[in-house]
């Protein structure tokens, strides 16, 4: 069985006392002391488990009391579960620079925390490349569709972190989500490349939850699920300059699945291109949800190329019991300056909740045309929505949305 219980649990606190007696750092011309993982017995052979070496280098840097950099040099470094934990007393920001390739241990029992690399409780950190984080998910994806098993490990989990930056890295073939950010304030994510096959299950590119002040910019994502998904408890989020495809699009939600979910506000998705995705600009929520609000959401300046469901509000996501409508209240929703081609006959579909209808849904300057000659004409549909139109809307919206 792939989940046979945790064989390895690695945490920074285990090795803290050991690291108090080890140096391993070398001066760096930029005044950062470099903690090269090979000085902590990491072996770049692609088969030795280097998780402990990575942890020991991190702990030494974290508690150095100076400007510090953890360096993973060129080469192939295999590792099982790794936790980079704070708080740190190093000068902010502490740097983790990946020049080589990190390879995930393919033994699923090596991940009792359901994450491969975790960064937690750190204020001020830069994770940078130009290296690669390879989740080697090919052998694990067959378990991803089994609902009786836990979700597959996240490649990089950033939780309870502040003032962070993740940049110039390549993510490949994560077992589960490639990058998840949760309970975090102020993080910039930029210039990433995230790739996995279109049929790899739940391999989201970037997923956010319970986080504030997040910028995702200039990133290329093609996976088997959402390129970017924005969950509950998120506020002041910018997604800009993302190239998405293949995948499931740029999504708010799913919202309302769990009883303790909280409000969403201030989300802007702008200047993005989507190619061959299952959805374009999407908001989704479940039936029987808690009463939460999602407001101040803007999708603008988007280009769709052969996209299914280019503009979609789905408040009946994965729901079969129509007696329980969604209680997620959507308001001040804006779809502006969206153009391109649709492979779905219904290219604009606003399917809101009858319990709490959508309010102030703006459509402005929309121009969607058929992807090819197999679609004669595009149409729009809406229900339980108060809509406002500005400029030209192609295809035209129905007169009534009740």
47-56 pLDDT tens trace: 999 999 999 9
Spot the catalytic one: 32, 248, 287, 316. 248
203-262 pLDDT tens trace: 999 999 999 999 999 999 999 999 999 999 999 999 999 999 999 999 999 999 999 999
CB 292 within 8 A of CB 322: no
Residue 19 has pLDDT above 60, yes or no: no
155-184 pLDDT tens trace: 999 999 999 999 999 999 999 999 999 999
**pLDDT class of 8 with cuts at 50, 70, 90:** very low
- pLDDT for the residue 251: 98
- pLDDT for the residue 331: 99
- pLDDT for the residue 184: 99
294-338 pLDDT tens trace: 999 999 999 999 999 999 999 999 876 666 899 999 999 999 999
- Domains, the chain, in order of start with CATH, read 1-213 (2.160.20.10), 226-402 (2.160.20.10)
The distance of Cα 114 from the centroid of its chain, to the nearest Å, equals 15
Q: Is 207 a catalytic residue?
A: no
- pLDDT for the residue 145: 82
Q: Please give the residue that has the higher pLDDT: either 145 or 83.
A: 83
């Amino acid at each position: 069985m792939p989940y046979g219980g945790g064989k390895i649990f690695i945490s920074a606190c285990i090795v803290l006392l050991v690291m108090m007696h080890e140096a391993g750092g070398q001066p760096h011309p930029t005044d950062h002391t470099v903690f090269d993982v090979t000085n902590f017995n990491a072996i770049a052979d692609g088969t030795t488990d280097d998780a402990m070496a990575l942890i020991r280098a991190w702990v030494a840097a974290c508690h150095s009391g100076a400007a510090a950099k953890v360096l993973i040099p060129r080469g192939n470094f295999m590792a099982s579960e790794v936790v980079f934990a704070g708080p740190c007393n190093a000068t902010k920001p502490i740097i983790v620079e990946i020049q080589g390739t990190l390879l995930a241990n393919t033994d699923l029992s090596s991940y009792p925390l359901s994450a491969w690399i975790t960064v937690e409780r750190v204020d001020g950190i830069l994770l940078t490349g130009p290296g690669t984080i390879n989740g080697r998910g090919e052998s694990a994806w067959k378990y991803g569709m089994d609902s009786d098993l836990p979700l597959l490990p996240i490649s990089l989990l950033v939780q309870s972190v502040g003032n962070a930056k993740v940049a110039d890295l390549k993510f490949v073939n994560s077992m589960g989500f490639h990058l998840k950010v949760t309970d975090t304030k102020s993080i910039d994510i930029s210039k990433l490349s995230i790739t996995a096959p279109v049929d790899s299950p739940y391999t989201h590119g970037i997923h956010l939850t319970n986080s504030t002040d997040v910028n995702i910019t200039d990133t290329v994502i093609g996976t088997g699920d959402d390129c970017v998904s924005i969950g509950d408890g998120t506020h002041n989020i910018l997604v800009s300059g993302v190239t998405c495809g293949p995948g499931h699009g740029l999504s708010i939600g799913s919202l309302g699945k769990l009883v303790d979910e909280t409000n969403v506000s201030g989300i802007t998705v702008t200047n993005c291109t989507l190619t061959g995705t299952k959805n374009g600009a999407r908001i989704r929520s479940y039936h029987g949800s808690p009463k939460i609000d999602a407001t101040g959401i803007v999708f603008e300046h988007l280009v769709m190329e052969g996209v299914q469901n280019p503009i979609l509000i789905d408040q009946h996501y994965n729901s079969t019991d129509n007696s329980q409508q969604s209680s997620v209240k959507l308001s001040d929703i804006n779809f502006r300056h969206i153009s391109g081609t649709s492979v779905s006959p219904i290219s604009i579909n606003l399917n809101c909740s009858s319990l709490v209808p959508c309010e102030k849904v703006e459509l402005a300057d929309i121009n969607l045309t058929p992807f090819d000659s197999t679609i004669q004409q595009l149409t729009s549909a809406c229900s339980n929505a108060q809509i406002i139109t500005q400029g030209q809307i192609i295809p035209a919206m129905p007169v009534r949305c009740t």
